[in-house]
Amino acid sequence: MTINHHPSGETLLRFAAGTLPAGPRLIVAVHVGGCPACRRQVAAFEAIGGALLDAGEPVGMASDALERMMARIDREPGRPQGAAAAIRLPRAELGIALPEAMDACGIGPWRWLGPGLRWSRVTVQGAPEANVMLLRVAAGKTLPEHTHSGSEFTQVLKGSFSDARGRYLPGDMDEADAEVDHTPVVDADGECICVAAIDGQMKLTGFVGRVVQRFVSF
């Protein structure tokens, strides 16, 4: 599997430092779980962070960086520990294999969103406020039109979509900031399933968007 679209360097650094909010952190964890190049990059950032801590010089890192990093490891998706391990969130059977990073997540059933469009609510262990969803879009359909104030993170699990910036296949992550005006269209050869989160507020527009807005807390 060739991966062509990766998180930005800044996002990987925030992931390594444990400063990404829970929703985007899950999407990046799914990507990193399937992308050796990004895994190496994250390991390098963590090694730099560790070396800075070893040197005892709080250069560019907050004094509680180690504590936060350990907390992140405790919270890392797919690695439930301590009290969190006892909580089993409900998981609907969606008929697809979900990545290991989502093992500790709650998964809602597929819900109708519009013609050829379904979504499922993903609950992040320990972060009920995180806005994460699985989207299932039929071949040839356009993803719901929307604008957002923060970055949007979309990881392709199955099928593919394309927009002005290229084609996104399984393993690819699309990181779109508020500046990106994108209308992704699912490729004609099959349905596309993505897991998506936003870092900021999303406002869905258009008819489908207004329907979605009633169900999704984005």
Question: Contact positions toward Zn ion, by CB under 5 A?
Answer: 6, 35, 38
Burial of 66 (0-12, 13-18, 19+ CB in 10 A): middle
**Dist CA 72 CA 81 (whole Å):** 11
**Dist CA 63 CA 91 (whole Å):** 38
Q: How far is the CB of 46 from Zn ion (least distance, A)?
A: 16
Nearer to Zn ion, 13 or 204 (CB): 13
Q: How far is the CB of 93 from Zn ion (least distance, A)?
A: 29
Nearer to Zn ion, 74 or 76 (CB): 76
Nearer to Zn ion, 6 or 121 (CB): 6
Of the candidates 20, 10, 38, 23, the residue with the CA atom closest to the CA atom of residue 121: 23
Nearer to Zn ion, 6 or 14 (CB): 6
Nearer to Zn ion, 15 or 119 (CB): 15
Q: How far is the CB of 167 from Zn ion (least distance, A)?
A: 16
| Rg, the chain, Cα only | 18
Q: How far is the CB of 37 from Zn ion (least distance, A)?
A: 5
Instruction: Count other Cβ atoms within 10 Å, centred on residue 47.
Output: 11
Nearer to Zn ion, 22 or 38 (CB): 38
Q: How far is the CB of 99 from Zn ion (least distance, A)?
A: 13
Q: How far is the CB of 39 from Zn ion (least distance, A)?
A: 8
